């Protein structure tokens, strides 16, 4: 396996995104490949919509949707936190449903519609959830915020679609928007600054109910 | 992550054939566990076969009065299905007790069954682990074993199976349907899907290379009160220390499966038979032959108490 140092170097090199670096990474990978794999077969062309715009990319198969968005399409609103599906900072909407962009391969999303924070709202035209996060101080450092906002927008849709949660008392009754429901349903988004109570207030306001 | 080639086959048969011909090939569905492990180079497939678009994402009624759940049905959709909520509430509850909203939107029925242990030593590639590197030893036996298994374990491995959904499937007598590369299919009762570690903890199930799970079948509804009680270190988004999945009939008979304590969802016929006699009697049967460590011996008490709480809730 790669040493932590080697991983660090390749990540920095990827940020630099020089052609030379890409070649080095591919050659290194090839030395590990057990099968007929060639540089050609280790990359795939994929076309998907991002924030309404069709994008076509040829990507190393290993590229996560998160890295495709950040490093290839330069949509850096989506954040990389843990890169293992534990923190929720990379939450985006795939065909309207929230998902961890770090735990899915970009090449698996042929034809899909991806929405990132940039697609929800812009500085001059904030999404109501963005405006509510600002109003209620639903963040401190702000790193988890894009994931929190994407997640909360989709989460309210899940309640409207009557998808139950762990704290839903009656599985056969319509799902309700309560503070307990919001907290449970947002448990996949970690905020290490601990802005949770303000996040719940922001979401509650958008949901149209008092906490 | 190691490099790999990728394909999206057009049919179930083509997927099984593609995988059968290549030792390094793996199916990828939700990818929420596989990609995590690939990043750590614990999983090192040389070829990925994407089975996401093979039409395996439907839930259908069976002629026997049960449900046929496609292998690719997402955890969210299975938990939210009206028939599941009404007739198999245990399954909805177990699914909703696991992971996060984001993960449940991607994770699939078959992938959930085949997810791998969260034993910290399986994940730590600097430590010996017989499951990750056969013959290297088990770091958990004398290490941090609090979350790990107490029954069904061996000297080689005490990893626990992490799935909540599988516990419900076990209590509901689900059957796994598969297709093999030669086109033949088979039905595997969920009790027989996972293997105990013995001296080969790296072999976790009975599926052959290239064998693809196509569906999970639920028999007709079991009725009764269906309760899933999960005990964990925080209220949400954590794996079970102990989880109890039970179906309890008005006369006190029923069935119970336990999660968090074994390398597979744990159920004993003798324990089911003891349910009318209470939690202590049933727990004793469930935990027969237990080999806890100092760190996880508390699970023996916790199983009995969690089961006691479930039986008391069932009595209403």
For A168-185, the pLDDT digits (tens) are: 999 999 999 999 999 999
**For residue B48, what pLDDT is reported?**
98
pLDDT over 90 at B41, yes or no: yes
Q: CA B169, CA B84: separation in Å to the nearest integer? A: 12
Residue pLDDT, tens place only, A25-80: 443 444 343 344 455 699 999 999 999 999 999 999 999 999 999 999 999 999 99
Chain B contact probe: residue of A7, A34, A175 with most B CBs at under 10 A:
A34
Domain(s) labelled CATH 3.10.20.30 in chain A stretch across 4-120
pLDDT over 90 at B58, yes or no: yes
* Residue B251 and residue B257 in contact, taking contact as beta carbons nearer than 8 Å: no
CB contact under 8 A, B5 and A37: yes
* Residue B91 and residue B165 in contact, taking contact as beta carbons nearer than 8 Å: yes
* Percent with pLDDT over 70 in chain A: 80
- Tokens 């008490």 locate to B301
CB contact under 8 A, A108 and B99: no
**For residue A12, what pLDDT is reported?**
42
Which of A102, A111, A68, A210 is CA-nearest to residue B100? A102
Which of residues 117 through 176 in chain A touch B, CB cutoff 8 A?
151, 154-155, 158, 161-166, 168, 171-172
Chain A contact probe: residue of B101, B104, B129 with most A CBs at under 10 A:
B101
Chain A contact probe: residue of B8, B19, B53, B100 with most A CBs at under 10 A:
B100
Residues pairing with B227 in the sheet:
B246
Which of B155, B167, B148 is CA-nearest to residue B198? B155
* Residue A58 and residue A44 in contact, taking contact as beta carbons nearer than 8 Å: yes
pLDDT over 60 at A4, yes or no: no
Domain(s) labelled CATH 1.10.150.120 in chain A stretch across 128-210
Query: What confidence category does residue B160 fall into, taking pLDDT thresholds of 50, 70 and 90?
Result: very high
Query: What confidence category does residue B96 fall into, taking pLDDT thresholds of 50, 70 and 90?
Result: very high
Residue pLDDT, tens place only, B125-143: 999 999 999 999 999 999 9
- Residue B223's SS3 state is coil
Mean pLDDT over B189-215 rounds to 97
**For residue B21, what pLDDT is reported?**
81
Mean pLDDT over B25-54 rounds to 98
CA distance A123 to chain B (A): 26
User: Is the CATH number of domain A4-120 1.10.3210.10?
Assistant: no
**For residue A40, what pLDDT is reported?**
60
In sequence order, what DSSP letters do the residues of chain A get, joined into one string? ---HHHHHHHHHHHHHT-HHHHHHHHHHHHTT--SS--TTTTEEEEEEEETTEEEEEEEETT-BHHHIIIIIS--TTS--SSSSSSS-TTEEEETTEEEEGGGSBGGGGTT-EEE-HHHH-BTTB--HHHHHHHHTT--SS-SSHHHHHHHHHHHHHHHHTT---TT-S-TTSPP---HHHHHHHTTTS--TT--HHHHHHHHHHHHTS--
**For residue A23, what pLDDT is reported?**
38
- Tokens 């979401």 locate to A203
pLDDT over 50 at B74, yes or no: yes
Query: What confidence category does residue B108 fall into, taking pLDDT thresholds of 50, 70 and 90?
Result: very high
Query: What confidence category does residue B178 fall into, taking pLDDT thresholds of 50, 70 and 90?
Result: very high
Mean pLDDT over B187-208 rounds to 98
Between these two residues, B184 and A3, which has the higher pLDDT value? B184
| Domain A128-210: CATH class, spelled out | mainly alpha
Q: What is the ipTM of this complex?
A: 0.97
- Tokens 């076309």 locate to A47
Q: CA B80, CA A162: separation in Å to the nearest integer? A: 8
Which of residues 81 through 110 in chain A touch B, CB cutoff 8 A?
83-85, 88, 91, 94, 97-100, 103-105, 107-108, 110
Mean pLDDT over B207-231 rounds to 97
* Residue A48 and residue A112 in contact, taking contact as beta carbons nearer than 8 Å: yes
DSSP state of B165: H
- Residue B151's SS3 state is coil
**For residue B316, what pLDDT is reported?**
85
* Residue B156 and residue B136 in contact, taking contact as beta carbons nearer than 8 Å: no
**For residue A143, what pLDDT is reported?**
98
- Alpha-carbon distances of B229 from A166, B249, B286, rounded to whole Å: 11, 17, 16
CB contact under 8 A, A61 and B101: no
Q: CA A98, CA A2: separation in Å to the nearest integer? A: 31
**For residue A38, what pLDDT is reported?**
53
Chain B residues with CB inside 8 Å of A83's CB? 39
In sequence order, what DSSP letters do the residues of B8-29 get, joined into one string? --SSHHHHHHHHHT-TTEEEES
CB contact under 8 A, B5 and A42: yes
pLDDT over 90 at A8, yes or no: no
* Residue A166 and residue A184 in contact, taking contact as beta carbons nearer than 8 Å: yes
- Residue B245's SS3 state is strand
Both tokens of A158, joined, read: 């899940």
pLDDT over 70 at A211, yes or no: no
**For residue A33, what pLDDT is reported?**
39
CB contact under 8 A, A107 and B6: yes
Q: At what angle do helices B298-315 and B279-286 cross, to 10 degrees?
A: 140
pLDDT over 60 at B20, yes or no: yes
**For residue A112, what pLDDT is reported?**
98
**For residue A124, what pLDDT is reported?**
96
**For residue A7, what pLDDT is reported?**
46
pLDDT over 90 at A24, yes or no: no
Mean pLDDT over B71-99 rounds to 98
**For residue A39, what pLDDT is reported?**
59
């Amino acid at each position: 396996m790669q040493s932590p140092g080697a991983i660090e170097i390749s990540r920095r090199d990827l940020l630099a995104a020089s052609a030379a670096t890409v070649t080095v990474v591919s050659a290194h990978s090839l030395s590990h490949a057990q099968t007929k794999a060639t540089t050609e077969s280790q990359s795939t062309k994929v076309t998907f919509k991002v924030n309404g715009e069709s994008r076509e990319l040829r990507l190393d198969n290993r590229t996560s949707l998160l890295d495709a968005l950040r490093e290839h399409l330069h949509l850096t609103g989506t954040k990389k936190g843990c890169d293992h599906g534990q923190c929720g900072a990379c939450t985006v909407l795939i065909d309207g449903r929230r998902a961890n962009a770090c735990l899915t391969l970009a090449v698996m999303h042929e034809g899909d519609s991806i929405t990132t924070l940039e697609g929800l709202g812009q500085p001059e035209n904030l999404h109501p959830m963005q405006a509510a996060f600002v109003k209620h101080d639903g963040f401190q450092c702000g790193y988890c915020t894009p994931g929190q906002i994407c997640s909360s927008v989709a989460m309210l849709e899940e309640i409207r679609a009557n998808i139950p949660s762990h704290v839903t008392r009656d599985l056969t009754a319509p799902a309700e928007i309560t503070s307990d429901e919001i907290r449970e349903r947002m448990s996949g988004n970690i905020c290490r600054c601990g802005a949770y109570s303000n996040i719940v207030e922001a979401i509650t306001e958008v949901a149209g109910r008092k906490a | 992550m190691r490099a790999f080639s990728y394909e999206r086959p057009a049919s179930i048969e083509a997927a099984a054939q593609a995988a059968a011909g290549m030792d390094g090939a793996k199916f990828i569905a939700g990818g929420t566990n596989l990609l995590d492990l690939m990043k750590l180079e614990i999983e090192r497939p040389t070829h990925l076969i994407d089975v996401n678009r093979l039409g395996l994402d439907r839930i259908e009624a069976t002629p026997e009065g049960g449900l046929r759940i496609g292998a690719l049905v997402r955890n969210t959709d299975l938990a939210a299905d009206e028939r599941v909520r009404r007739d198999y509430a245990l399954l909805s509850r177990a699914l909703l007790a696991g992971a996060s909203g984001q993960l449940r939107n991607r994770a699939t029925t078959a992938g959930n069954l085949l997810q791998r242990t969260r034993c910290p030593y399986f994940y730590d590639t600097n430590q010996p682990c017989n499951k990750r590197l056969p013959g290297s030893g088990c770091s958990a036996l004398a290490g941090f074993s609090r979350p790990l298994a107490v029954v069904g374990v061996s000297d080689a491995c005490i990893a626990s199976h992490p799935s909540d959904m599988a516990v419900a499937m076990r209590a509901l007598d689900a059957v796994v349907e598969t297709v093999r590369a030669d086109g033949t299919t088979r039905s595997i009762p969920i009790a027989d899907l996972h293997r105990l570690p013995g001296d080969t903890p790296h072999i976790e199930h009975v599926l052959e290379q290239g064998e693809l799970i196509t569906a999970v079948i639920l028999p007709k509804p079991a009725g009764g009160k269906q309760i899933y009680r999960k005990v964990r270190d925080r209220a949400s988004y954590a794996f079970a220390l102990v989880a109890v999945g039970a179906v309890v009939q008005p006369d006190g008979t029923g069935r119970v499966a336990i999660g968090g304590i074994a390398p597979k969802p744990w159920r004993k016929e003798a324990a089911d038979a003891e349910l009318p006699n209470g939690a202590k009697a049933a727990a004793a049967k469930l935990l027969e032959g237990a080999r806890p460590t100092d760190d996880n011996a508390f699970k023996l008490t916790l199983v009995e108490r969690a089961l006691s709480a479930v039986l008391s809730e069932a009595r209403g």
